[in-house]
Amino acid sequence: MSATGQTRQLMPADIAAMKGGEPVVCLTAYTTPVAKLVDAHCDLVLVGDSVGMVLHGLPSTLGVTLEMMVMHGQAVARGLSQALMVIDMPFGSYEQSPQQAFANAARLMAETGAAAVKLEGGRHMAETIAFLVARGVPVMAHIGLTPQSVNTLGGYKVQGRGAEGARRMIADARAIEEAGAFSVVLEKVPQGLARDITDALSIPTVGIGAGAGCDGQVLVVDDMLGLFTEFKPKFVKRFGELGVDAEAAVADYAREVRARSFPGPEHVFADEVKK
């Protein structure tokens, strides 16, 4: 049974219906084992293009391809039975035109089994969101800090500061709601502004670095598990320190191999007794 008490796999309409109620719990996943681990506890699992940085060592999300998203989406789908699976549309796969966006969204959904896609952008993406929704593609929007636009934004900075910045972001939020998005991620937004946007919209907001006033929260699973010992954004709470534990385990393994204490008698198979 999922966190929402459901015994079936959740759909975009179920997430939309959580507006103003119990917070939406969301984590990223990129592999089958992690998907199985988070499935029972999350309402929504995001196959994020953050996979490029987390698993492939890319400097940003810009180098992520459709083929990478398909591969990881298929892996995650094998591990889910209850949580809604949403998959990111990578950079360059939807910006050219609504028609391009639909072709690539349809491919992602058909080849992975994802029930929805996520794309970045506010007012300038409203036409594309409406085009997708009208053709049966549920869309989760993403505004605030949009990592695919990091070069235009001048880095991974807080977005929406000042009266004009707040006005633009509220306008973005209203535009994507009117276009038919079923929810929206607010990333790295001042908590007061995030709360104002949450109160103004009829669709759930899912925050990452946007405060507890959102309708839900999302984190990169590797961040919250502490798998990266050298990287910790301000908005991340480490609920585990798996990176430290893993490093210690690897060091113990190396030490025992070099000392020839592993494998021990309990780890080997006895020779056949010769008659």
Active site residue 187: yes
Q: Flag whether 50 is marked binding.
A: yes
Residues 21/3, Cβ–Cβ less than 8 Å: no
Amino acid at 230: E
Q: Flag whether 49 is marked binding.
A: yes
Please report how many Cα atoms fall inside a 13 Å half-sphere around the Cα of residue 227, on the Cβ side: 10
Q: Flag whether 237 is marked binding.
A: no
Catalytic residue among 95, 111, 164, 187: 187
Of 128, 132, 140, the residue nearest 28 (C-alpha): 140
Q: Flag whether 118 is marked binding.
A: yes
Q: Flag whether 261 is marked binding.
A: no
The annotated binding site is made up of 49-50, 88, 118, 120
The annotated binding site for 3-methyl-2-oxobutanoate is made up of 49-50, 88, 118
Q: Which residues are catalytic?
A: 187
The annotated binding site for Mg(2+) is made up of 49, 88, 120
